[in-house]
Structure 1
Amino acid sequence: MGLKIRLARAGAKKRPYYHIVVADSRSPRDGRFIEKLGSYNPMLPAEHEDRIRLQDEKIKEWLGKGALATDRVAKFLGKAGIIEMPVYPEQPKQSAPKKKAQERAAAAAR
């Protein structure tokens, strides 16, 4: 059984609210979970203290038992200092000019 620390959506239509839960990786997003570990309210401003609530000790306990955090939750935990901040490789920009266009722009600049 793979355990994940992930978001479970709650709240009304167009008013999202998420619970941070530990659940079996095979269970549905809003389905059965084992324990609530916090909450995330994206409707609040980024600097508001109630935007992300975490129960640090419970999270550390579940991480010790082998639960893995999803990307979004890992980012929350990294900012809170519970785990090391995850490093994401830089993604290529598809809208960036291609090689020939960059060469033409460099030639025009000279």
Structure 2
Amino acid sequence: MSELSQVARYGRYCLRLSHWGCANRPFYHIVVAKKSFPNRRYIDPVEQIGTFDPLPNAFNEKLCSLNLERLQHYLSGGITVETPVAQLLGLAGFLPNHPSTYAQAWRNREALDNPNTRRTNVILKEELN
């Protein structure tokens, strides 16, 4: 197999979040799925390589587990990474941070400084004291 075909081995696949759980309690699997299938919800993924729990636990942590060896294998094969997974991998330190992560951090800092830009459902630690 030539080196070019080795690099593009997983070009037909993408890393994406697969929604599990319910509307009030979301839970996501990080899966390898076919990119071109029209409705990916009804086919089984190729492989699950991690999970993500977006709701904070008792220690105010959002949990994300990754199989780093398989993730590195797919990334070296040229797999496409969708935006939410790229943000998670950037925050985990596996990939460079996604540009939208910087934009969200800027909005968060702006909301801390200016109460007019703050959403009404956000409770800050400063307000609790």
**TM-score, normalised by the number of residues in structure 2:** 0.60
**Larger strand share, 1 or 2:** 1
Is the contact between residue 7 and residue 29 of structure 1 (CA under 8 Å) also seen in structure 2?
no
Q: Does 1:37 align with 2:49?
A: yes
**1:11 paired residue number:** 21
Counterpart of 1:17 in 2: which secondary structure? strand
Q: 1:23 to 1:35 in 2, by over 3 A?
A: same
Cα RMSD, aligned residues only: 2.3
Larger Rg: 1
- What is the identity percentage for the equivalent residue pairs of Structure 1 and Structure 2? 28
Counterparts of 1:30 and 1:6, CA distance in 2? 14
Q: Which of 42, 48, 51 in structure 1 is aligned with 2:61?
A: 48
- Higher fraction of helix: 2
Gap runs ≥5 in structure 1: 91-110
CA distance in structure 1 between the partners assigned to 2:60 and 2:84 by the alignment = 17
Unaligned 5+ segments in structure 2 are 1-10, 104-129
- Say yes or no: does 1:87 pair with 2:109: no
Question: 2:89 is matched with which residue?
Answer: 77
**Structure 1 position 30, deviation (Å):** 5.8
